[in-house]
């Protein structure tokens, strides 16, 4: 065999292992969706059909993002897919029925509201990709991510057990 050859048996084995890993490893639950970076003037509105319109400024431009779906992330599962937002830039929604946010306090909250159906929409911003050991952040690592969430009931709680 030459140095650059790839025998068919080896290719088949690699493909089989990749397929098994894809079936066995569950997808992770995503509690929020990245919708922008380093945003300002963030506003959120929602209509009675479960759609939200998020407007913000980023990179010197005003952006309007239409979002729907992805209410209440599911626990990881091998057989049931995770919920997902349908996102598109531009668009509009019906009359804004999202009022004052009535849920529990949220860390890093930028904008939030409670819809007429009782569900909550929230936009939060934080720096997720900070370097270790207090090194200064630069480039994308310095950017504050703008993240969207939509849920009913109490938000999930993270518990660390020793």
Q: 46 is in which domain, residue-wise? A: 37-151
Entry pTM: 0.70
For residue 74, is it within any domain? yes
6 part of a folded domain: no
- Reported as a pLDDT band with limits 50, 70 and 90, residue 55 is very high
Q: Is residue 23, in this structure, part of any structural domain at all?
A: no
Residue bearing the bigger pLDDT, 12 or 129 = 129
Mean pLDDT of 19-37: 54
> Is 157 inside a domain boundary?
no
Q: Helices marked H in the chain — which ranges?
A: 8-24
Total of domains in the chain: 1
Cβ neighbours of residue 141 under 8 Å, at least 6 residues apart?
A: 127, 129, 130, 131
């Amino acid at each position: 065999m030459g140095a650059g050859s790839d025998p068919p048996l080896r290719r088949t084995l690699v493909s089989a292992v990749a397929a098994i890993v894809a079936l066995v490893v569950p997808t992770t639950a995503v509690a929020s969706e990245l919708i922008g970076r380093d945003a300002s003037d963030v506003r959120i509105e929602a209509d009675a059909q479960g759609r939200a319109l998020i407007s913000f400024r980023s990179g010197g431009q005003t952006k309007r993002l239409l979002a729907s779906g992805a209410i209440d992330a599911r626990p990881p599962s091998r057989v049931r897919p995770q919920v997902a937002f349908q996102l598109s830039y531009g668009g509009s929604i019906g009359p804004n029925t999202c009022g004052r946010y009535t849920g529990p306090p949220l860390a890093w909250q930028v904008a939030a509201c409670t819809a007429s159906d009782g569900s909550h929409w929230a936009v939060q911003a934080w720096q997720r990709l900070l370097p270790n050991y207090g090194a200064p952040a630069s480039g994308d690592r310095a950017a504050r991510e703008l993240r969207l969430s939509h849920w009913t009931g109490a938000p999930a709680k993270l518990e660390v057990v020793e």
